A and B are shown apart, each in its own frame.
Chain A
């Protein structure tokens, strides 16, 4: 017998004893019993998995909402640092005086922080007028 044939002959005998010892009827019975149990276990697994997913979603969404409400909005913080006077940079001196005069009428002239030594807005230059507006913004 050549080498290949011998190996193939030996291979055909491999596992014969284990196969002969196997109780086929008992194996079939056990397999069917386990298959019978499977649908119930599968349904339970699906139910538990959906519950876990739902709980995780509640935690994530709830946490996100809580964080959003607990912190001031980013746009608000940006607005705090913004001066209206910066928007008036392009205005001429006369236009600035008109803005201040209009503002003066609205809030009352006593509240306007006119620089020391000045009695009339018309005496102020553009730089001083912007400083007045900044002081009004607080």
Chain B
């Protein structure tokens, strides 16, 4: 079942797709996954999701988001809201892993292109950054990733994390200062 095109023509694409999904259109859900799955995977991997679990965590995040989409009030972009759900999914995953006495694994992010020497240095720096991110308080880590990795404005981050733009800015600067000490 799809909404009439005229009813959704003026809405931003995500909002139109959400309405269509709420009306029972499975294709709309699939399109939302297609639009946001890769940025979500980047966010989860950057936040410390083990490489082999990113796929499952992406799925779980979308499932939770679609099941609770009635609570999305458009206070921020759909993608930003989705990323915050992803952060919760990752936190729950970490708790389960801790109960199973598994150590959280960092995603060994590597760039497969470029000069091998530069690549090795970059890989080492990225690994240090990833490890440094795990040492940050959760809010600092999420603000840092939303700002530096996803390129969001402080107002958008604040709306998603239920804080103020000023507080988000402070969290970001604390995070950068600590990460600079790690990645020297």
Q: Which residues of A contact B (CB under 8 A)?
A: 3-4, 6-8, 10-25, 27-32, 34-36, 38
A-B contact count (CB 8 A): 124
Q: A4-B176, A22-B58, A31-B30 are in contact. Are A16 and B111 (CB under 8 A)?
A: yes
Question: Which residue of B29, B39, B42, B111 is within 8 Å of A31 (Cβ)?
Answer: B29
- Are A35 and B63 neighbours in the complex by a CB distance under 8 Å? yes
- Are A7 and B180 neighbours in the complex by a CB distance under 8 Å? yes
A-B contact pairs, 28 of them (CB 8 A): A4-B176, A4-B180, A6-B125, A10-B129, A13-B109, A14-B45, A14-B145, A15-B41, A15-B46, A15-B107, A16-B42, A17-B111, A17-B112, A18-B44, A18-B49, A18-B109, A19-B42, A19-B45, A20-B38, A22-B38, A27-B55, A28-B33, A28-B37, A31-B62, A34-B63, A35-B63, A36-B26, A38-B63
Q: A7-B180, A11-B145, A15-B43 are in contact. Are A28 and B34 (CB under 8 A)?
A: yes
- Are A28 and B30 neighbours in the complex by a CB distance under 8 Å? yes
Contact with A along B2-41 (1 / 0, CB 8 A): 0000000000000000000000001001110110011101
Q: Does B101 lie at the interface of the complex (its beta carbon under 8 Å from any beta carbon of A)?
A: no
The residues of A that contact B45 with a CB separation of less than 8 Å are 14-15, 17-19
Q: Which residues of B contact A (CB under 8 A)?
A: 26, 29-31, 33-34, 37-39, 41-46, 49, 51, 54-55, 58-59, 62-63, 66-67, 107, 109-112, 122, 125-126, 129-130, 133, 144-145, 148-149, 176, 179-180, 183
- Are B63 and A12 neighbours in the complex by a CB distance under 8 Å? no
Question: Which residue of B34, B125, B144 is within 8 Å of A24 (Cβ)?
Answer: B34
Which of A8, A14, A21, A25 has the most chain B CB atoms inside 10 A of its CB?
A14
The residues of A that contact B37 with a CB separation of less than 8 Å are 22, 24, 27-28
The residues of A that contact B39 with a CB separation of less than 8 Å are 19
16 new A-B pairs (CB below 8 Å) besides A14-B109, A15-B42?
Answer: A7-B180, A10-B125, A13-B111, A14-B42, A14-B129, A15-B107, A15-B149, A17-B111, A18-B109, A19-B39, A27-B37, A27-B59, A31-B33, A32-B29, A35-B29, A36-B26
The residues of A that contact B183 with a CB separation of less than 8 Å are 6-7, 10
Roughly how many angstroms separate A61 CA and B67 CA in the complex, as a whole number? 36
